[in-house]
Structure 1
C-alpha cells in the first residue's frame, strides 16, 4: 500500500543519508586535524584542537553552508564536490603508485579464518562497496527535479546523467582501489584508508604541499557532500511542515531544521566514533533502493501481463536484490561478531 511503500522507501534513504552525513563529519573533521598538523608542524605554538573540537568545527561549517533550499540550488556545490573528488583521488593513487610498493607488503588473505568467515567477509565487502556508491539513494530525488513530458521524459536525461556520473566515479575509485592495493596491500591502515596510508608511509618522502593539498581537497569534498546527502532529510522535514500547515516553510524554520540535524549528526559522530566500521551494514540496509525497488516500481507502474517474460524478469531481479541485501547485512553482522570492532563511546 501507499503508506507501507513510503515507510519502506523513506527509511533506508533517511538512514543512509544520516549515516553518510555522520561519516562525513568524522572524515572531514579528522582530515581538518591532519591538515592543521601538516601546516602547523610539531613545533607549533598554537592551541591544538582535539578530535571532538575538529568535528565541531566541521559541523558548524557544514551547517553554515547548508542553507540552500533544495537540490536544484546545489548544482554548483555538487560540481565542486565532483571536481575535488576527482582531484584528490587522482593525487592519492598517483603518489602511491609513483612511490612504489612498500617493503614486506603482502596480498595474502588473513590466515586462520574459517570458510564461513571468509564468505561473510566477502559479503561485508560488498556492503562496503554499496556504501561507497551511496549516491544511488539520491537518484530518484534528483530525477524528481527534472522537467518531464511525453516528448522528453526525465528518464532519458537521468539515464545520461547517471551514466556520466558513474563513469566519473569509476574513474576515481577503480584506480584508487587497484593502485592502493598494489602499493600497500595488507599494510593499509584500518582507519582512514588511503589518505592515512599516504600520510603514514609517505609523509617524509613526498612534498608537504601535495599531502596538505590532498587533505584540503578531502575537506572541501566532505563539506560539499554533506549538503547533497543531507538534502533528502531537509526536504522531508520541510515537506512534513508544508503538508501539515499548508504554507511554505519559513526561512527561520529552515535554518532551525538544518541546525538541528547538524547537531544530531555531530552528537552521533561523537557518541559512536566506530560508525565507519559499520559501513557494510549501512550499505546493505540501503541496497534494495538500487537493486530491488526499481523492479517492483516498474511492475506497479507499467502493469505488465502477469506471468509474462518481463513480469518474471522484474520479480526475479527484485527478489534477488532483496536476498542479496539480507545476505550483505548478515555478512556485516557476522564480520562484526567474528572479527570484532573497537567499540568506544564518546571517545573519537
Structure 2
C-alpha cells in the first residue's frame, strides 16, 4: 500500500507540475493525466480558451482563491520583503564605508529587482501553462530531478527556516518589550517577573498559529497589509530617531578593516558585509505563489493577465522598499558609524541612546516589530502549508477537511517552535545558510530558469547577460558560504541548545 501511495503521489505531483492551471477540468482525476517526462517547455494552449486551473489546484491554499489584485500583491510583497534583516545594513557600511557600501547596496537592489521581473514574466509562458510555485518552475526548467535537488532545500528552508527565525526574533522582542515596560523610571530594576525564553517563544508561536488558521493566501491580504504598515513604520522610526537624537561621542566613519593584518581576514570581513547587504532582500521564493493568486483563470494572452497586476504590485512595493532600506543604511551609519552594534539597529538604538529614547517610543517600536514578525510568519508559512496539503491530497485524492487543515498547521507551528527552542542560535548562522539558500534563489536561479524556458539565441546579448549574472550569483553564493565558515571557525559558535536567552 505504501508503494502504491508513493507512486500515486509522485504521478499527482508531476501532473500538477506539468498541467497546473491548464485546460483540464473536473471530474478528470489528476492521477490519470498522461505525462511526458521529457517535456519541460511551456506547452502551448489555445489563445482563445481561458486557462482553467488543474482540479487539485482548487484544493490547495495558495491557489484555491484566485481573485487577488495588484494591491494584494503589493501587501504580500512588502510584508515578506521588508524586515528586521534590513536593520543590519549600517553594520555592513561600517566595513565597506560610504562609497562601496552605497554601491553594493544599489547593485544588490537593482540585481534582485531584475530577478523579480524575470520571475513575474516566467509565471506565465505566453501562451502556455502557469507555474504557481517556485519549486515547480525550477523543475520545469531544470528537469524533475535536478530541479528538486537545486530548489527543494532552499525553498523549503526559506519558508520553514524563516518562520523559525521569526519565532526567535519575535519571542526575543516580546521579552525586550516586557523588560522595557516593567523597568522603573531609573531603568535599573524590573518590577515584574519575566517569562523564560522558551515561554516567550511559546507565546509568539501560539498567536502565530491562531492567525494561521486563515484558509488561503488571499484571505491573508489584510494580515499582510498590517505587516507592511508596521514594517515600514518601524524602519522609518529607527532611522528618524537615530538622526534626531544625534550621534554619540567619538563616532568614526573609517573602515573597520585592519591595515596590519593579512589580506584573508579583511577579505572575509568584506564578504560578510556584502552578505549582509545581499541578504537584506528576500521573498523571491514567494513571488510565484503571490502571483498565482491574481486573476488566476484569465487567458494569458489578454491584457488582464496576472503579469500586468503583478508588475504594478512589484513597482509600488519596491518603491516603498527602497524608501526604507536606503535611509536605514545611510542614516543608520551616519548616526552610529563604527559604533553600530553587530546585532543591528534593534540593539544600537536602545544602547547608544538609552537616556534619550523614552520608554513609550522604544516600547512602540518593539510592538511594531512583534506585529510584523507575526504577520510575516503567515506569508512564509503558506508555501509549507501548501506543500503539506499537496502531500495529503495526493495520498487521499480528496480535499483537506477543516480539521485536517487545522491539524497540519498546528503541527507545523509546533515543529517550528521545537526547532527554535533547540537552535536558538540559528540567526548566528544566517550568513552561512543564507549564502546556500537565499542567494541562489534570489540572484542566480531566475537567470538560469529564464534561459532554460525562453531559450534565447546563444551568444546573443540577452543570453550572455543572463549567463554572466547567474554565474556571478552562484560564485557569490560560494564566496559568502566560505566567508561564513571561516568566521565561525575563527570566532566560534555559542551553541546554546535548548537554552533561549
Class of the TM-score when normalised by the shorter of the 2 chains: over 0.9
Pair 1:232 & 2:383 matched: yes
Pair 1:31 & 2:173 matched: yes
The alpha-carbon distance between structure 1 residues 253 and 180, as it changes in their structure 2 partners (threshold 3 A), is same
Q: Which position in structure 1 is the counterpart of 2:311?
A: 159
Pair 1:217 & 2:364 matched: no
Pair 1:138 & 2:286 matched: yes
Quote the Cα distance in structure 2 between the aligned partners of 1:167 and 1:128.
Answer: 21
The alpha-carbon distance between structure 1 residues 133 and 50, as it changes in their structure 2 partners (threshold 3 A), is same
Quote the Cα distance in structure 2 between the aligned partners of 1:53 and 1:194.
Answer: 25
TM-score (norm. length: structure 1) = 0.92
Quote the Cα distance in structure 1 between the aligned partners of 2:232 and 2:191.
Answer: 35
| Counterpart contact for 2:197–2:499, Cα < 8 Å | no
**What SS does the aligned partner of 2:236 have?**
helix
Q: Measure how far apart 1:322 and its partner are.
A: 1.6
Quote the Cα distance in structure 2 between the aligned partners of 1:177 and 1:296.
Answer: 31
Q: Where do 1:244-283 residues align within 5 Å? A: 244-283=395-434
1:38-66 Cα shifts (integer Å, max 9, x gaps): 22225655432122211111111111111
Quote the Cα distance in structure 1 between the aligned partners of 2:455 and 2:434.
Answer: 30
Quote the Cα distance in structure 2 between the aligned partners of 1:270 and 1:342.
Answer: 14
**Greater RCO structure (CA 8 Å; 6+ sep):** 1
Q: Where do 1:1-348 residues align within 5 Å? A: 1-42=143-184, 45-107=191-253, 108-111=255-258, 113-147=261-295, 148=298, 149-152=300-303, 153-191=305-343, 193-285=344-436, 286-348=438-500
The alpha-carbon distance between structure 1 residues 282 and 163, as it changes in their structure 2 partners (threshold 3 A), is farther
Quote the Cα distance in structure 1 between the aligned partners of 2:350 and 2:428.
Answer: 21
Q: Measure how far apart 1:87 and its partner are.
A: 0.7
Q: Which moved more, 1:38-47 or 1:278-287?
A: 38-47
Q: Which runs of 5+ in 1 are unaligned?
A: none
| Counterpart contact for 2:282–2:442, Cα < 8 Å | no
Q: CA RMSD in A?
A: 2.0
**What SS does the aligned partner of 1:287 have?**
helix
Q: Measure how far apart 1:338 and its partner are.
A: 2.8
Greater gyration radius: 2
**What SS does the aligned partner of 1:249 have?**
coil
Q: Measure how far apart 1:125 and its partner are.
A: 2.7
Quote the Cα distance in structure 1 between the aligned partners of 2:447 and 2:492.
Answer: 35
1:14-60 Cα shifts (integer Å, max 9, x gaps): 11122211111111111111111222225655432122211111111
Quote the Cα distance in structure 2 between the aligned partners of 1:198 and 1:316.
Answer: 40
| Counterpart contact for 2:431–2:481, Cα < 8 Å | yes
The alpha-carbon distance between structure 1 residues 7 and 71, as it changes in their structure 2 partners (threshold 3 A), is farther
Quote the Cα distance in structure 2 between the aligned partners of 1:131 and 1:259.
Answer: 29
Quote the Cα distance in structure 1 between the aligned partners of 2:413 and 2:387.
Answer: 15
TM-score (norm. length: structure 2) = 0.65
Quote the Cα distance in structure 2 between the aligned partners of 1:113 and 1:80.
Answer: 48
**What SS does the aligned partner of 1:134 have?**
coil
Q: Which runs of 5+ in 2 are unaligned?
A: 1-142
In proportion to residue count, which structure has more helix?
1
Q: Which moved more, 1:206-215 or 1:338-347?
A: 338-347
The alpha-carbon distance between structure 1 residues 264 and 317, as it changes in their structure 2 partners (threshold 3 A), is same
Q: Measure how far apart 1:308 and its partner are.
A: 3.6
1:201-250 Cα shifts (integer Å, max 9, x gaps): 32322222111111111110110011111111111111121222211112
Quote the Cα distance in structure 1 between the aligned partners of 2:175 and 2:367.
Answer: 10
Q: Measure how far apart 1:9 and its partner are.
A: 2.1
Quote the Cα distance in structure 1 between the aligned partners of 2:263 and 2:327.
Answer: 29
